[in-house]
Amino acid sequence: MASNEKKLRKQAEKGIWKSYFRLMFKAKLPWGWIIFVSALYILSATVTLLFPDFSSKVMTGVLKPYIIWGTVGLIIADVIMSGLVRFFNKLLVAKIDVSYRSLIWERVIKSPLRFFDSMKPTTMITRITTDASKISTVLGSYLPSLAATVYGTVGVVAVVFSYNWRLGLSVVVYIPLYLLFNAYYGKWNFRAFKETYNRLSILTQFLSERLMSVPLIKTFVTEKKEDELGHKSLQYYFKANMRRYIIMWVENPINGILSITSDILVILYGGYLVKAGYIQLNDWVAFFMYIGMLWGMLGSYLMMYVEIKKSQGATDRIAALMDGDLEVNEGKVGIEKLDKDILFKDVAFSYGDKPVLGHVDLTIPVGKVTALVGPSGSGKSTIFSLLQRFYEPDAGEIFVGDTSISDIHLKDWRNLFAGVAQDSPMLSGTIRENILYGVNWKVSEFELAEAARKANALDFINGFKDGFDTYVGEAGSNLSGGQRQRIAIARAILRNSDILLLDEATASLDSQSEKAIQDAMEQLMRGRTTIMISHDLSNVHHADQIIVLSGGTVDGAGTHEELLKTNELYRHLVQLHTGSSAS
Ligand SMILES: Nc1ncnc2c1ncn2[C@@H]1O[C@H](COP(=O)(O)OP(=O)(O)OP(=O)(O)O)[C@@H](O)[C@H]1O
Ligand SMILES: [Mg+2]
């Protein structure tokens, strides 16, 4: 049983290493720079290796000019080399950072919508920022220094043995002891690190969520409770950190004892060897310095091990991100214009394991207005998502004429649509940038103003001091819901697409603006394939076809008059509406 667990853990470990290397090659690392910095490290290690040999002679009174100048030269070279290594190392880390972040960002933005349903934005931000920088720091600092450290260790051991093999051997036996202790210590340290990391991500998630819901907290007067919750979360993080500090502190005395006993050995045994004439005084001094270097190098193996271990969690998370499917752009068929009806044939769909649509058959006639009505949650917006191929149906297919839309080039297909939703997304920037978002042809000032005027937005835009150059705030937060909606309408007017998707497009407007926009919309809809969702049934009377959805299936379809006669649910919805607007 236990061995089975161990086997599984070993396999998982292997998998982590695999993804580590796979990611390294996917990220297009700056290999030229890595090799260059590695070479710098090796040069720097050579200078360091030569130093004790020269300086020990100076210290013990061997004052030949080449020894003195050699020592001075090595001191200067060491300063210059370590400066260069530090500089180019930082540069390399930054370069690797960019390659990893670009790789992740490209991947994320090209992922299908399904991917975003299961991944919180805060999580994704952590992947792109913290996780990526963890990997790049480790790869950038330790990968190039690894070769130099191995070279240095072998060099030190060789030099030490060349001075006196007995003394060398007495020190080298410490190495396995040191490595054994530190392998265990490294695991312990890593566990403590993981705990703080988890606590920190819980804390971050707590803070970001609460900060986004400040109005909710104020409305329900829960400041005191939230204050306590925040305090608790902070305390957990603090305690985990304390544990980690204690573990980090323990390393010092234990490794200290190991290195002190080896120093004492070198002093006592070496002193005896000098006295007995087995080795020279300057060799003994050099020996002492080399042993100090050896401990330093062993220490950096430990550090590498711990840091690589720490970064493997990040690698694992990023690798999981990279394994998902991408949106496929390559359809066989191009399309420039919608000139045939759109047909849903026995379409079924679920979000995860939650079925939302089942056996949906419907026809959306080209150039006509189709309205989708039905209770909240009946799947209306989901039909819009399927139409735009944000998701693929689980069963059945959507056709344009005889062509399945999954065979059409995705970019061409999406270019056919313009949409206005109740909650129209905005990006920080100016009103102009938001209206022109995704428009890739030259738009004159006049056309821009015309689109805004038709959307009944020109008056309020001109009311702002900066007009079209008014900054809309993060996600459009400086604008009201109705203003955002009218900007979205102006955007749709400019885009001039074949298919218009209106999801509660006028829901945030007062009746006066709504009337003005309704007129503009009617103009916009003319000759275009329009599909509209509206809870306000007075908006849909004029539609060429009304489709009634209920619980993910089509309950009926026809004109207003036909449905009034034949469809129970539609009659009920109309009654509800007239009842509520009468009261
Ligand atoms: N991203 C999603 N992940 C999981 N479930 C979802 C997701 N989006 C919608 N749903 C669920 O799918 C069902 C249909 O949702 P949809 O948004 O299509 O309804 P709707 O008819 O547009 O409703 P409303 O009139 O309230 O806008 C609902 O039960 C909803 O909870
Ligand atoms: Mg909806």
**Model pLDDT for residues 164-223, shown as the tens digit of each residue:** 888 888 778 888 888 888 888 888 888 888 889 889 888 988 998 899 889 899 988 999
**Per the domain annotation, does 151 fall within a domain?**
yes
Tokens 């005896």 map to which residue? 272
Give the pLDDT confidence of 461-470 residue by residue, as tens digits.
999 999 999 9
Burial class (CB in 10 A: 0-12, 13-18, 19+), 164: buried
Residue 302 in any domain: the answer is no
CA of 503 to the centre of ligand 2 (A): 7
State pLDDT tens for residues 381-428. 999 999 999 999 999 999 999 999 999 998 889 999 988 888 777 888
Higher pLDDT among residues 89 and 266, named by residue: 89
Q: Which of 501, 498, 463 is nearest to 479 (CA)?
A: 463
Instruction: State which amino acid sits at residue 99.
Output: S
pTM: 0.76
Protein residue with least CA distance to atom 1, ligand 1? 117
Model confidence band, residue 329 (pLDDT cutoffs 50, 70, 90): low
Q: Which pLDDT score, from 0 to 100, does residue 201 have?
A: 84
Phi, psi dihedrals of residue 499, rounded to the nearest 5° = -115, 130
Three-state secondary structure readout of 111-163: CCHHHHHCCCHHHHHHHHHHHHHHHHHHHHHHHHHHHHHHHHHHHHHHHHHHH
Write the residue with the smallest CA distance to atom 29 of ligand 1: 377
Token readout for 259 is: 């290195």
Please tell me whether residue 334 adopts helix, strand or coil conformation: coil
Q: Look up residue 512 and give its amino acid.
A: Q
Print the domain residue range for 88.
1-163
- Per the structure, the count of domains in the chain is 1
Residue 298 placed within a domain? no
Q: How far is CA 125 from CA 132, 319, 472, in A?
A: 10, 15, 23
The answer to whether the CB of 263 falls within 8 A of the CB of 253 is no
Distance CA 387, CA 209 (A): 32
**Probe residue for ligand 1, chosen from 351, 391, 501 as the CB with the greatest number of ligand atoms within 8 Å:** 351
Report the nearest-CA residue for atom 13 of ligand 1.
Answer: 377
Instruction: Evaluate whether residue 250 is within a structural domain.
Output: no
The alpha carbon of 418 and the centre of ligand 2 are apart by a number of angstroms equal to: 16
- The answer to whether position 182 is within a domain reads no
Atom of ligand 1 nearest to the CA of 385: 18
In a domain, 177, yes or no: no
Give residue ranges with CB within 6 A of ligand 1.
Answer: 117, 351, 354, 356, 374, 376-382
- Looking at the CA of 387, which ligand is closest? 1
For residue 133, is it within any domain?
yes
Angle at 109 between CA 103 and CA 114, to 5 degrees: 120
What is the Å distance from ligand 1's center to 376 Cα? 8
- Does residue 440 lie in a domain region? no
**Quick check: helix, strand or coil at residue 558?**
strand
Please tell me the number of the ligand nearest to residue 390's CA. 1
Catalytic residues: 504
Render 184-216 in DSSP notation, one character per residue. HHHHHHHHHHHHHHHHHHHHHHHHHHHHHTHHH
- Distance in Å, CA 423 to ligand 1 centroid: 14
Residue closest by Cα to atom 25 of ligand 1: 376
